């Protein structure tokens, strides 16, 4: 298993990977709403932005990814939004942990101060995974997504990367 930064040569494999994971219906993405062109544009944007994005390779097959999309407005430039996925047969083998550690380290190195993620209520394993890697629950969004006729709640999590910069509340 090898964890590498994504490159243009990975786009076709990444498209297959993300569409396969989206079909599981436990993520906030739908395979029928993703096109190969949209995925290509997304990867190219990540590369242009210099955003952290890594893929897990098993021989020549992409089996997982982790990326942090950068905030576009001045007031969110310190924040990134994490997204990741690992193919079903590769989960529970440390692939996700390797990926997320690389992404967090790259985010910290580029000066990001905060990483956010949301998890659907039907994915408790993901919620536990992010908590184990230092993310803290900040809140909930009830009925925030409607997929087909089904509503889903989201748990909002975040990680502050530079704890020294976090101001502590003044003593009263």
Hey, what are 85's tokens? 């996925």
What is this structure's pTM?
Answer: 0.85
CA distances to 22, 54, 130 from 51, in Å: 22, 10, 20
pLDDT reported for residue 164: 52
C-alpha–C-alpha distance, residues 37 and 5, integer Å = 20
First-residue to last-residue Cα distance in the chain: 52
The DSSP annotation for 106-125 comes to HHHHTT--EEEEEEETT-HH
Phi, psi torsion values for 7, nearest 5 degrees = -135, 160
Give the SS3 label for residue 75: helix
**Beta pairing class for 61-70 and 53-58:** antiparallel
Pick the CATH number of 2-115 from 3.40.190.10, 3.40.50.720, 3.40.630.40, 3.40.630.30: 3.40.630.30
pLDDT reported for residue 25: 58
List helix spans (H) across 50-159: 95-109, 124-132
The rounded average pLDDT for each run of 10 residues, N- to C-terminus, in the chain (172 residues) is 94 88 62 72 90 95 94 84 92 94 95 94 90 96 86 94 58 46
Q: What is the largest CA-CA distance in the chain?
A: 58
pLDDT reported for residue 166: 47
pLDDT reported for residue 172: 45
C-alpha–C-alpha distance, residues 16 and 61, integer Å = 10
């Amino acid at each position: 298993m090898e964890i590498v930064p994504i490159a243009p040569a990975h786009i076709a494999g990444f498209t297959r990977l993300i569409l396969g994971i989206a079909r599981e219906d436990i993520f906030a993405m739908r395979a029928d709403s993703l096109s190969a062109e949209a995925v290509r544009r997304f990867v190219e944007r990540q590369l242009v932005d210099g955003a952290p994005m890594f893929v897990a390779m098993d021989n020549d097959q992409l089996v997982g990814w982790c990326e942090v999309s950068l905030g576009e407005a001045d007031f969110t430039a310190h924040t990134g939004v994490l997204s990741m996925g690992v193919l079903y047969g590769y989960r529970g083998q440390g692939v996700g942990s390797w990926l997320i550690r690389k992404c967090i380290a790259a985010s910290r190195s580029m000066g990001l101060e905060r990483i956010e993620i949301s998890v659907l209520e039907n994915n408790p394993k993901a919620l536990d995974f992010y908590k184990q890697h230092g993310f803290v629950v900040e809140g909930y969004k009830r009925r925030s997504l409607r997929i087909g006729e089904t509503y889903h709640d989201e748990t909002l999590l975040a990680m502050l990367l530079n704890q020294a910069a976090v101001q502590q509340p003044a003593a009263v």
